[in-house]
Structure 1
Amino acid sequence: MPTSSQSDIDHAARARDVLGFSRWWQVAAAAVMMGLISPYQYVWSSIESPIARSLALDPTALGFVFTLFVVFQAGSQFPVGWYRDRHGPRGLTLLAGLLAGGGYVGLAYATEVWQLYLLYSLGAVGVGIVYTVAVNTALKWFPDRRGLTTGVGTMAFAAGSALFIPYVRTNATVAGYPDVLRNMGLLIGVGLLVGALVLRDPPSGWADASDEGDEAAAESADAEETTDRAAEADRAETDGGATLTAGKQYTTREMLRTWQFWLMYAMFVFVSGAGLMLTAKSVSFAQNVGLNAVTATISATLIPIAGGIGRLVVGDLSDRVDRERAMAVSFTLCGIGLLAVVWFGVTNTVVGFLAAVAITAFFWSPQYTLFPSVVGDYYGQEHSSANYALLYSGKMWGGVFGGGVAGWLVTQTGWPTAFAIGGGFAVLAGLAAVLLREPSE
């Protein structure tokens, strides 16, 4: 069996033969695009208030905007993934530039609340397209480094908003926000246009085929047999416990027949629900348990930063250890961290509260690196866009829990109990990960 470093060289060389340049440029383009669309999820809270004041609306009237964003961003990904697996990423990425860029430009001129809902939902579809394209670019070009490369892209989505926040908050006034939205919309549109020119998908089977074997196969049947054996060895090879290329390329229908998918779907809903609750309500929780406004603001700032770092660190680690074990540890620590948020919040321990928020985000966010990597490991890369997009749709239900259900729980049980329930869900997901194993063909 070749060493992992040798397998890296082989995949890099094969990709260079196809692309004419390093495959890392594909990941770099995907990461830049993810950073550009990140304000839709992470900056809304900063522009919600000036928009409401400009339109003379109660801020609660815009509360459903973020819920619609989660639904359309997650719900759009399966049809997008299905199309991308068959037609490539370029046309979709161009469409995403129009939707995500145009959505922000349109918001700058919105005068009615229904226009806000419509434009943010259209922008969410653009975000969903970019997310699907970016994550699966890593899965398709890096069967040997799935955890690291999906971590790079999803880290950019989490942490990229940190570059926008100072600019947005400085100009988050009734007079200033239209220019902010127009400028960000134009930047998103142009950036995605450039990204569309760079991205492309590898030919089918490129990672399994040996270049030397292909040449010999043209000369004799004996060489074809040798190539088949080499390809089979490639499929069986692992890098730190993670399969490089799955032997069977599962269609979405075949994937749905495996119990592993449904267990992962439940895990995805539980973990995303806990994390999205923290993302959406960390400031409100801090204020309602008696922490000061500065602490609440710092907690909200820590979430995308810690989450971005966690995606990269845990994603890279999962390439070197058993990926299911990485899931179990990460999700369990996420749940324990959220329980610690409750404890330190109730006891008004500022340093402990902020540390707990950072730990929770650090170990929650890697779900967006670990799940696509496991989908690639278990079900192959040929249909990875559609397969992971279907799993990612669990974010819709996680968003419902983190938003509406969490709000209901707060009114029925109080803030500490609602957050503790979210922590319990994350721990359950971590325990469930122990049961995962690769499906048998």
Structure 2
Amino acid sequence: MTTGSATYTVLTDGNGRTYRVGETPHDLLGRSRAWMMWLPWAAMFAVSSFEYGWGAVEETVERRYHWTLTDAFWLASIWAVFQAGVAFPAGRLREKGVFSARAAMLVGALCCGVSWFTLAHVGNLAVGFVGYSVLGGTGAGLVYATCINMVGKWYPEKRGARVGFVNGAFAYGVVPVIYVFSYVLDERNYSAVLDALGGYMLVAVAICGLFFRDPPKNWWPSEVDPLRWASGDHRAAARSLAKNPPAVRQFSPMEAIRSGMLPLMWGCMVIIGMVSLFGINFEVPFAKESHFGPFVAASAAGVLSVVNGTGRAVVGWASDLFGRRQTLTIVLVIAAVAQFGVLYAGNTHNLVLFMVAAFLTGFGSGAFYPLFATLVPDYFGENHNATNYGIVYSSKLVGGIGGGGLAASVVVAWGYTGAYLLAGGAALLAAAISLFLRQPGRGHGRTQGRPTPAVADGLGPALAG
């Protein structure tokens, strides 16, 4: 390799995985690859207000436009449908080279800004669905999918921890906004506050997106020997590979579906996605219903968001040590316990227990996202990861409806007691389903094959993918 005109070698291991080595981040970007971690983190931080701040703003929105609780949470539900639904087509277009990461981020920035501007000035519910739910969901989905995919590509040897770190910003970035919504926002300054939030999202995401650039397909950092890493010769890799062996081959989307594991992941994520969004959306209203007051309600939401975000980074690290599937099951059980805990604490007006339950809710409602994001390439390989994970993440299409609009209907019909009992039971069902996840093509107890010697498939100039 020579500076300014880097060459690369393509290596193949015993599982058929290829690695493009020889180019440094400076050859490809002109700067450290840390930029491709911090920029996605900043963009995810900026758009976090959509999902994790809605529970704090919905009451003011209802008063402002005379909407019902069900109206408000159907807005959130349709937002979640579009936020999740855009992941698959966006991933497919990126893999085909039709839609660049930069273009996805700029379109996402514009949609995010317009969504809050619409909610700030238009009281027509139908227009709100188009402006906030459709455009806002599409914009946030483009940002989310692009950022998660980006950091995974630039950190192939540290995927679990780095993806968890960036994913976490999608939750705890909302904390300042929650207190603004709870203490500053009222009908007099409503439009100004939401305009400021929309402008912040538009500018922050656009600036981050201008610097986004994918590495070449199958790129690995030049300082890491991917064959030694894949074989477990590296001590850290050996610990992770003992629990998380690489995919036996590269699965196309149809092959991943036919394996049965991709549909199982999808179904599991539908269920826990409903529970997650229910906990996020209704914790603040339930806290107020339990007479804890606005400060406690906002603090509970803040604790939920902070733990939700930091928990994603923690489980990424833990999954490297203990196994992604094992960690996923534990997270889902914690999510179930959290629902029952919030219900008991609210009904008994136990403030300390309510905050503890908010802590557990935050952890259980977000930590599963990076686990699924890393399970997909572990099970099906990296070559079609954007599409395969897009399919799994599309489960939020169903989960968003269940955790928002339908959940609001359940609260109206059965009260918070019935809704929280249903949510806790659903989380336990998701945990049971996760026990059946198995890596396709790798028999129970089968050991990981060691890679073959390096094979040079080609040399050429460094090109960004």
TM-score by length of 1: 0.85
How far 1:91 moved relative to its partner?
1.2
Which residue does the alignment assign to 1:112?
124
- Indicate whether 1:44 and 2:54 are aligned: yes
Aligned residues of 1:338 and 1:360 also touching (Cα < 8 A): yes
Report the residue type matching 2:44 in the other structure.
M
Residues 13 and 329 (structure 1), Cα distance of their counterparts in 2 relative to 1, 3 Å cut? farther
Greater relative contact order (Cα 8 A, min sep 6): structure 1 or 2? Answer: 2
Separation of aligned partners in 1, 2:26 and 2:424: 45
State the distance in 1 between where 2:419 and 2:260 align.
30
Specify the alignment match of 1:439 in structure 2.
440
CA 1:345 to 1:190, structure 2 compared with 1: closer, same or farther past 3 Å?
A: closer
- 1:202 aligns to what? 215
Q: Over residues 316-341 of structure 1, what are the superposed CA-to-partner deviations in whole Å (9 max), with x where a residue is unaligned? A: 22122211111111111221222222
Cα shift at 1:400: 2.3
Contact map agreement 1:33 1:192 (CA 8 A) in 2:
yes
- The equivalent residue for 1:241 is 240
Which amino acid is the alignment partner of residue 69 of structure 1? W
Measure, in 1, the Cα distance between the counterparts of 2:77 and 2:155: 33
Q: Which residue of 2 aligns with 1:302?
A: 303
Equivalent-residue separation in structure 2 for 1:147 and 1:423 (angstroms)? 27
1:358 Cα shift? 0.9
Equivalent residue pairs, number:
414
For the residues of structure 2 that align with 1:65 and 1:169, how far apart are their CA atoms? 19
2:200 to 174, 187, 192: 187
Cα distance in structure 2, aligned partners of 1:404 and 1:106: 20
Q: CA deviation at 1:170?
A: 4.6
Q: Does 1:35 align with 2:45?
A: yes
CA positional deviation for 1:260: 1.4
Structure richer in helix, relative to its length: 1
Structure 1, unpaired ranges of 5+: 1-9, 213-229
- C-alpha separation in 2, matches of 1:202 and 1:303: 34
Equivalent residue number for residue 388 of structure 1: 389
Give the partner amino acid of 2:388: N
Report if the CA contact (8 A) 1:337-1:357 is conserved: yes
Question: In 1, are the aligned partners of 2:178 and 2:301 still within 8 Å (CA)?
Answer: no
Q: How far apart are residue 372 of structure 1 and its match?
A: 0.3
Helix, strand or coil at the partner of 2:206: helix
Q: Tell me the CA shift for residue 374 of structure 1.
A: 0.7
The CA deviation at 1:236 is 4.5
CA distance in 2, matches of 1:62, 1:418: 17
Which residue matches 1:156? 169
TM-score (norm 2): 0.81
Matched letter for residue 127 of structure 2? Q
Q: CA offsets, 1:164-191, max 9 Å, x none? A: 3334445412231222222222222222
Distance in structure 2 (CA, Å) of the matches to 1:46 and 1:396:
23
Percent sequence identity over aligned pairs = 29
**What is the RMSD of the two structures over their aligned residues, measured on CA atoms?**
2.8
User: What is the Cα deviation at residue 413 of structure 1?
Assistant: 4.2
Counterpart CA distance in 1 for 2:223 and 2:218 is 12
Could you give the per-residue CA deviations for residues 190-218 of structure 1, whole angstroms, max 9, x where no partner exists? 222222222111112223x9799xxxxxx
Alignment of 1:419-434 (within 5 A): 419-434=420-435
Quote the residue 1:146 is aligned against.
159
Equivalent AA in structure 2 for residue 81 of structure 1? G
Q: Indicate the SS of the match to 2:79.
A: helix
Corresponding residue number in structure 2 for 1:5: none
SS state at 1:240 partner: helix
Paired position in structure 2 for 1:4: none
The verdict on how the C-alpha distance between 1:13 and 1:340 changes in structure 2, with shifts beyond 3 A counting, is farther
Q: SS of the counterpart of 1:73?
A: helix
